[in-house]
Amino acid sequence: MEIFSINKEIINVNRIEELEEKIDRLIDTFRLMKEENERLKTEIETMRNNDRELEGKISEIRGERELLIEKVQKILEKVEKVEI
C-alpha cells in the first residue's frame, strides 16, 4: 500500500505543478491582453482627438469658402452693373 500512496502523491504533485504552470500562463496572457487593451484605448483616444481637429478644420474651411463665395458674388454683381 505504501507504494500506491507514494505514486498517488507524485501524481497529485505533478497535477498541481501543471495547474500552477497553466495559471502562470493565464496570468501572463491576461497581463499582455490588458497592456494591449490600454495601448488600443490610447490609440482610439488619439484618433478621436484627430477627428475633432479635422472636424474643426473642415468647419473653418467651409466658413472661409462661404465668405469667398459671397465676395465673388459681390464682385460679379458690381461687374454686371457696370455699363460698357
pLDDT tens-digit map of 20-57: 999 999 999 999 999 999 999 999 999 999 999 999 99
SS3 content of the chain, % helix, strand, coil (to 5): 95, 0, 5
Q: What is the pLDDT of residue 80?
A: 86
Measured CA distances, 2 to 8, 13, 14, 15 (Å): 10, 17, 18, 20
Interior angle at CA 10, CA 8 and CA 15, nearest 5:
95
pLDDT average, residue stretch 3-22: 76
